[in-house]
Amino acid sequence: MSTSQTPTSPDTPSISFEFFPPKTLGASARLWRSVERLAPLDPAFVSVTYGAGGATRERTMAAIMAIRDRARLNVAGHLTCVGASRQDVLHAAKIYRKLGCKRIVALRGDPPNDAVGNPTRFESHPDGFAGAADLVAGLAEMNHFDIWVAAYPEKHPEAPSLKADIEALKRKIDAGAHGAITQFFFENEAFYRFRDACAAAGITAPIVPGILPIENFKKLCNFAARCQARIPDWFAKAFQNAADQGTEDLLSLAIATEQCHDLVENGVEHLHLYTLNNPDLPYQICQALGVEPSPSRVAVSCG
């Protein structure tokens, strides 16, 4: 199943968005505001994240049902296998199927931190999947889902090398994944090198770049540190100057729009935007790319 819609012009990409399940009533309102704002852009799909070990299972399922019922969007559910038995993971997949989800983003998931907050190494559940490739194989046996996985243009933090990481991606594709969505990045050359290396390794499945609009530079630095995504040196000074002038959003919009335009000019047909449940920058980026709202695609208010 392709991610692509029919673009409005040859230079307009199809798009998708990622949301996370809310923890509070206020967060629920923020999520729904995001869905209402972005649904008219007619995304190819939207995805909803899923906590390790099913930590957000109920909230994830509730968010998926609301988005499908009220916004009539194609929803992809994330699914992780860390800290969970094979039976529990496949049970969650069966719930997705009952909810009408035909797409799953299959992830190993991050291992929990230790008692003092330091990250630990992944250890599979005694009765669980050995990792993402094993999870993909298990989901593929269900013969129901369009399975997507994660990719890392600057390599996964735990991978010994980019080559080893690409080999891990190929194992996921060979196990039954239909495509990959990347971790966010800001240097497109890293993505192009990664794309070429994947092709050289025999990976023919689509690799969709993940784009993170910079809502807050300090938060970005924390995200990037956890996943070891490189932040260009000039960002810090640029965002400090923008903060002094109250123009951070304009700078963020300019950075993301330029990045996306360059990706499209270099053959990218689909972009996946991480919204952090804030629709404003993603909406503006899409408009700058020529993605126009569709009058027929309107979310039903939850109010």
Per-residue confidence (pLDDT) for residue 2, from 0 to 100: 46
Per-residue confidence band for 299, with pLDDT thresholds at 50, 70 and 90: low
| pLDDT > 70? residue 274 | yes
Angle (nearest 5°) at CA 288 between 283 and 290: 95
39-48, 56-65, 137-146, 271-280: least confidently modelled range: 56-65
pLDDT, position 127: 85
Contact between 289 and 12 (Cβ < 8 Å): yes
Look up 158 and say whether it is catalytic.
no
Q: Average pLDDT of 22-50?
A: 94
Q: Which of 18, 154, 215, 248 is catalytic?
A: 18
**pLDDT at residue 128, as a whole number:** 83
pLDDT band, very low/low/confident/very high, at 272 (cuts 50, 70, 90) = very high
How much is the pLDDT for 109? 84
Is pLDDT at 6 greater than 50 in this prediction?
no
CB 166 within 8 A of CB 130: no
Is residue 114's pLDDT more than 90?
no
> What confidence score (pLDDT) does residue 112 get?
60
Q: State the pLDDT at residue 149.
A: 98
Residue 8 has pLDDT above 70, yes or no: no
- Higher model confidence: residue 109 or residue 222? 222
Return the structure tokens found at 303.
Answer: 């109010």
CA 303 – CA 291 distance, rounded (Å): 27
**pLDDT above 80: residue 300:** no
Better-predicted residue by pLDDT, 109 or 33: 33
In terms of pLDDT, which residue wins out, 3 or 241?
241
Range of weakest confidence among 121-135, 157-171, 240-254: 121-135
Kindly tell me if the per-residue pLDDT of 241 is higher than 80: yes
pLDDT of 3 strictly over 60: no
Longest dimension (CA), the chain: 55
114-118, 147-151, 218-222, 264-268 — which is least confidently predicted? 114-118
Q: What is the CA radius of gyration of the chain?
A: 19
- Average pLDDT of the residues in 53-63: 79
Per-residue pLDDT of 160-197, as tens digits, reads 999 999 999 999 999 999 999 999 999 999 999 999 99
Q: Copy the structure tokens of residue 204.
A: 């023919």
Percentage of the chain surpassing pLDDT 90?
77
DSSP assignment of 43-81 equals -SEEEE---GGGTTHHHHHHHHHHIIIII---EEEEEE-
For 256-259, the CB contacts below 8 A with 24+ separation are 256/211, 256/213, 256/214, 256/281, 256/285, 257/285, 257/288, 257/289, 259/186, 259/188, 259/211
